[in-house]
């Protein structure tokens, strides 16, 4: 349904929705940097799956890209490492790694080390050498080099922690500056309403963090380790579509009213109080509107950026320019475009979220009002969400299996995903509910992604909605009519898109056979693991050991059922320290008792206690390399 806004002059307010683009760090193999890691450092590989740019760009990609080349530009990348003697202890600053597009820009201090950011078509990588001896956490900030304290002053007093005797029992740690907790209070520089050019432009600030403690305490381990986390844009993006010949409105500048002056880095949240108090909200300085406004090229992409803004702020965009009253008279006009429902003066404002984009499509104007539609789209998703009626958001916390409609094989996991049987003979059904203030089922857009596998799960009839303490919308699914002829059963992602905010809720339905534990290798000399083939290769020597980290799923029931077990195919020459683990993540240690004949192999079958799904790991032997 089109959302037409009839807005009086100087009374219209602009709509912020926000859709995000995230750059995922994942495992790849980049070229090694020069030099080797010494005994006091450990190589840590950061790998970003993205299309980041590290050289200045002059043009944008053709068409309507989700993120323009300029928006993917990285001119600075700072990696802050915090260390602690114990995993659950207090973390303080240890060291900083930094990248600058302009190599003349350096960070002084013995705690800072520059690195090279290697970019490719789809991946960017960096090899860092972190100091051994402690547990560490990693925080990353791109395109924002200033850290502002709560009192408004810039923090520049970094001091790396000192270890008296790294790797030894008597190691004493002198805390670094700042502490992790203090670091997480830092925020971006604030925008100044009275400074004409103080506007948000590309390159855009991004942040990401790896806060699961990384164990660098073992000096006997020299193998390279890998980290993965996400970089998320801290701002919302606004696009405007306007054919000035049709609307008779020519945009000259864009601004924002009731906007926030900045945001904290970790986590990304608005600067100031909620609800806002004096000084928290400003009118952003105007930004010149330079996009074409012709019939051939009516769309202005990335014409304005803002920090997040809560619903309570009542934020709005301000479009200023001229209205062609006739062929000779151009009248100065200003329109405020509000972020709230049309035809409902008491409707709720919409939250302006970071990492989202909003498109205002101008359809008509006169001296006193502006007509337009609003479209909310994900910054990383090629799909769009059509004009919408704002409602409240939903999360996986509001998801539950229905009391009826589920076969016995259906299990809800603690992370909000679902496991169920999927085979050529399956006849199961799935039904779950989402709680939220969705008065109309059409407020949710539903899409199934089969990851290029068979379409074995399909929607079963129209969704239903009932109103209790809150509104419950029921979603039902069944096996495809053609399932008997299928053989490629992959996890299905059910994407529910909230038209109110543009946010997506992804629910993965995982075949039971694919719900076995995830396997990763813990670094031990003489062992390697190929996840593509599920094969561990170890040196064929007496008492050679290897360690596997086994991560099992957890049920969403009261008992939080989880854990794993392992069965060795041939246990006469390979042993394990424990046959099962009760925790979701457990480390199994395997030992080769004595040298075996060349070509001997083995199998390890890991079973998830929650779902009985299995994962098979093959064990191969490699003959020792003789000098």
Q: Tell whether 445 is covered by a domain.
A: yes
Give the model's pLDDT for residue 118: 81
Give the model's pLDDT for residue 65: 52
Which run of H or E residues covers position 246?
helix 244-247
Instruction: Report how far residue 450's alpha carbon sits from residue 466's, in angstroms, rounded to the nearest whole number.
Output: 29
What is the CA 341 to chain-centroid distance, rounded?
Answer: 29
* DSSP reduced 3-state for 371: strand
Give the model's pLDDT for residue 500: 53
Give the model's pLDDT for residue 123: 63
Which stretches of 268-398 are assigned E, i.e. beta strand? Answer: 269-270, 281-282, 287-288, 299-306, 316-324, 330-338, 356-365, 370-378, 384-385
Instruction: Report how far residue 431's alpha carbon sits from residue 400's, in angstroms, rounded to the nearest whole number.
Output: 9
Give the model's pLDDT for residue 349: 63
Nearest CA to 99 out of 73, 121, 122 is that of 73
At 87-127, the pLDDT tens digits run 999 999 999 999 998 888 999 999 999 999 887 656 677 89
Q: What is the CA radius of gyration of the chain?
A: 28
Tokens 């079963």 found at: 460
Alpha-carbon dihedral angle through residues 144, 147, 152, 154, given to the nearest 10 degrees: -110
In the sheet with 535-539, reading across from the earlier edge strand, the strands are 527-530, 535-539, 614-622, 601-608, 564-568, 580-581
Q: Are residues 54 and 202 in the same domain?
A: yes
Which stretches of 396-544 are assigned E, i.e. beta strand? Answer: 399-401, 411-412, 418-420, 429-436, 444-449, 457-459, 464-467, 471-479, 492-498, 504-511, 518-522, 527-530, 535-539
Instruction: Report how far residue 448's alpha carbon sits from residue 439's, in angstroms, rounded to the nearest whole number.
Output: 23
Instruction: Report how far residue 400's alpha carbon sits from residue 412's, in angstroms, rounded to the nearest whole number.
Output: 8
Q: Are residues 381 and 265 in the same domain?
A: yes
Instruction: Report how far residue 509's alpha carbon sits from residue 494's, in angstroms, rounded to the nearest whole number.
Output: 8
Q: Tell whether 6 is covered by a domain.
A: no
Q: Are residues 72 and 199 in the same domain?
A: yes
Q: Are residues 524 and 509 in the same domain?
A: no
Contacts of 514 (CB under 8 A, 6+ apart): 489, 490, 491, 613
Q: Of 348, 363, 385, which residue constitutes the final position of a domain?
A: 385
Whether pLDDT at 206 is above 50: yes
Q: Are residues 247 and 284 in the same domain?
A: yes
At 151-183, the pLDDT tens digits run 999 999 999 999 999 988 889 999 999 999 999
Whether pLDDT at 390 is above 60: no
Q: Tell whether 390 is covered by a domain.
A: no
Answer yes or no: are the C-beta atoms of 362 and 240 closer than 8 Å: yes
Whether pLDDT at 386 is above 60: no
Considering only residues 16 and 253, tell me which one the structure prediction assigns the higher pLDDT.
Answer: 253
Task: Report the range of poorest mean pLDDT among 240-249, 286-295, 367-376.
Answer: 367-376
Mean pLDDT of 501-528: 88
pTM as predicted: 0.58
Label residues 202-220 b or e (16+ Cβ within 10 Å = b): bbbbbbbbbeebbebbeee
Containing structural domain, residue 400: 396-514
Is the link from the previous residue into 325 a cis peptide, with omega within 30 of 0?
Answer: no
Number of domains in the chain: 4
Q: What residues are paired with 48 via a beta bridge?
A: 25, 124
Q: Tell whether 460 is covered by a domain.
A: yes
Q: Of 227, 245, 270, which residue constitutes the final position of a domain?
A: 227
Q: Tell whether 68 is covered by a domain.
A: yes
Q: Are residues 586 and 610 in the same domain?
A: yes
Q: How confident is the model at residue 306 (pLDDT cuts 50, 70, 90)?
A: very high
Q: Are residues 97 and 198 in the same domain?
A: yes
Tokens 């195919």 found at: 569
Instruction: Report how far residue 245's alpha carbon sits from residue 294's, in angstroms, rounded to the nearest whole number.
Output: 7
Instruction: Report how far residue 404's alpha carbon sits from residue 412's, in angstroms, rounded to the nearest whole number.
Output: 14
Q: Are residues 413 and 538 in the same domain?
A: no
Give the model's pLDDT for residue 609: 95
Q: Tell whether 366 is covered by a domain.
A: yes
Give the model's pLDDT for residue 396: 64
Task: Report the range of poorest mean pLDDT among 365-369, 411-415, 488-492.
Answer: 365-369
Considering only residues 448 and 382, tell me which one the structure prediction assigns the higher pLDDT.
Answer: 448
Whether pLDDT at 203 is above 60: yes
Return the sign of the alpha-carbon dihedral for residues 67, 287, 311, 203.
positive
Answer yes or no: are the C-beta atoms of 94 and 162 closer than 8 Å: no
Give the model's pLDDT for residue 32: 40
Return the sign of the alpha-carbon dihedral for residues 242, 243, 249, 251.
positive
Task: Report the range of poorest mean pLDDT among 8-22, 226-240, 245-259, 388-402.
Answer: 8-22
Two structure tokens written together for 320: 């200023």
Q: Tell whether 450 is covered by a domain.
A: yes
Which stretches of 101-185 are assigned E, i.e. beta strand? Answer: 112-114, 118-119, 123-131, 135-142, 162-163, 173-174
Give the model's pLDDT for residue 374: 67
Q: Are residues 152 and 240 in the same domain?
A: no
Nearest CA to 444 out of 407, 471, 418, 412 is that of 471
Q: How buried is residue 124: exposed, middle or buried, by Cβ count under 10 Å (0-12/13-18/19+)? A: buried
Answer yes or no: are the C-beta atoms of 198 and 289 closer than 8 Å: no
Other CB atoms within a 10 A radius of the CB of residue 541 amount to 14
Q: Are residues 42 and 187 in the same domain?
A: yes
Longest Cα pair distance anywhere in the chain, in angstroms?
95
Q: Are residues 529 and 468 in the same domain?
A: no
Q: Of 184, 201, 227, which residue constitutes the final position of a domain?
A: 227
Q: What percent of the chain has pLDDT over 90?
A: 55
Q: How confident is the model at residue 58 (pLDDT cuts 50, 70, 90)?
A: very low
Q: Tell whether 461 is covered by a domain.
A: yes
> Which CATH number characterizes residue 259's domain?
2.60.40
Most confident of 219-228, 379-388, 461-470, 540-549: 540-549
Give the model's pLDDT for residue 52: 58
Whether pLDDT at 41 is above 90: no
What is the CA 120 to chain-centroid distance, rounded?
Answer: 20
Q: Are residues 349 and 295 in the same domain?
A: yes
At 473-490, the pLDDT tens digits run 889 999 999 999 999 999
At 525-566, the pLDDT tens digits run 999 999 989 999 999 999 999 999 999 999 987 778 999 999
């Amino acid at each position: 349904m089109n959302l037409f806004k009839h807005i009086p002059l100087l009374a219209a307010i602009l709509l912020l929705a926000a859709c995000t683009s995230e750059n995922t760090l994942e495992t790849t193999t980049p070229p090694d940097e020069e030099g080797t890691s010494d005994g006091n450092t450990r190589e840590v590989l950061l790998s970003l799956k993205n299309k980041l740019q590290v050289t200045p760009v002059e043009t944008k990609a053709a068409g309507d890209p989700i993120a323009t080349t300029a928006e993917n530009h990285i001119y600075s990348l700072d990696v802050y490492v915090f260390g602690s003697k114990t995993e659950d202890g207090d973390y303080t600053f240890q060291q900083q790694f930094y990248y600058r597009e302009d190599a003349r820009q350096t960070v002084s201090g013995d705690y800072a080390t520059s690195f090279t950011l290697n970019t490719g078509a789809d991946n960017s990588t960096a090899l860092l050498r972190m100091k051994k001896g402690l547990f560490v956490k990693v925080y990353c900030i791109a395109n924002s080099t200033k850290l502002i304290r709560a009192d408004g002053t810039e923090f520049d007093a970094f001091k790396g922690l000192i270890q008296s005797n790294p790797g030894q029992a008597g190691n004493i740690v002198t805390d670094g500056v700042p502490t992790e907790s203090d670091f997480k209070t830092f925020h971006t520089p604030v925008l100044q309403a009275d400074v004409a050019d103080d506007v948000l432009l590309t390159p855009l600030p991004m942040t990401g963090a790896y806060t699961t403690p990384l164990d660098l305490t073992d000096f006997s381990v020299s193998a390279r380790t890998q980290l993965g986390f996400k970089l998320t844009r801290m701002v919302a993006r606004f696009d405007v579509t306007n054919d000035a010949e049709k609307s008779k409105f020519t945009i000259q500048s864009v601004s924002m009213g009731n906007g926030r002056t900045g945001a904290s880095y970790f986590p990304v949240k608005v600067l100031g109080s909620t609800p806002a108090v004096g000084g928290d909200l400003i009118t952003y300085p105007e930004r010149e509107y330079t996009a074409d406004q012709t019939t051939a090229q009516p769309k202005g992409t990335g014409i304005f950026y803002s920090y997040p803004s809560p619903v309570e702020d009542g934020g709005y965009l301000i479009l200023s320019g001229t209205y062609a009253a006739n062929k000779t008279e151009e009248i100065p006009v200003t329109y405020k475009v509000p972020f709230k429902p049309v035809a409902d003066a008491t409707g709720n404002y919409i939250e302006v979220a970071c990492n989202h984009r909003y498109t205002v499509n101008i359809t008509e104007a006169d001296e006193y009002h502006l007509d337009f539609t609003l479209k909310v789209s994900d910054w990383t998703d090629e799909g769009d969400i059509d004009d919408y009626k704002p409602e409240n958001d939903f999360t996986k916390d509001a998801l539950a299996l229905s009391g009826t409609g589920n076969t016995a094989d259906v299990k809800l996991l603690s992370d909000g995903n679902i496991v169920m049987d999927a085979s050529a003979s399956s006849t199961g059904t799935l039904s779950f509910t989402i709680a939220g203030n969705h008065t109309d089922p059409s407020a949710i857009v539903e899409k199934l992604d089969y990851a290029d596998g068979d379409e074995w799960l399909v929607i079963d009839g129209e969704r239903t909605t009932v109103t209790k303490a809150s509104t419950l919308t029921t979603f039902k699914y069944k096996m495809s009519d053609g399932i008997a002829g299928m053989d490629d059963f992959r996890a299905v992602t059910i994407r529910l898109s909230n038209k109110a905010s543009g946010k997506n809720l992804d629910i993965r339905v995982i075949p039971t056979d694919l719900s076995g534990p995830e396997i990763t290798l813990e670094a031990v000399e003489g062992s390697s693991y190929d996840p593509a083939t599920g094969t561990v290769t170890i040196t064929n020597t007496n008492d050679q050991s290897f360690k596997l980290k086994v991560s099992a799923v957890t049920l969403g029931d009261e008992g939080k059922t989880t854990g794993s077990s392992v069965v060795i195919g041939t246990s006469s020459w390979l042993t394990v320290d424990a046959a099962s683990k009760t925790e979701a993540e457990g480390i199994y240690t395997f030992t080769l008792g004595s040298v075996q004949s060349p070509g001997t192999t083995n199998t390890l079958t890991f079973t998830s206690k929650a779902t009985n799904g299995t994962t098979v790991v093959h064990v191969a032997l490699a003959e020792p390399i003789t000098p």
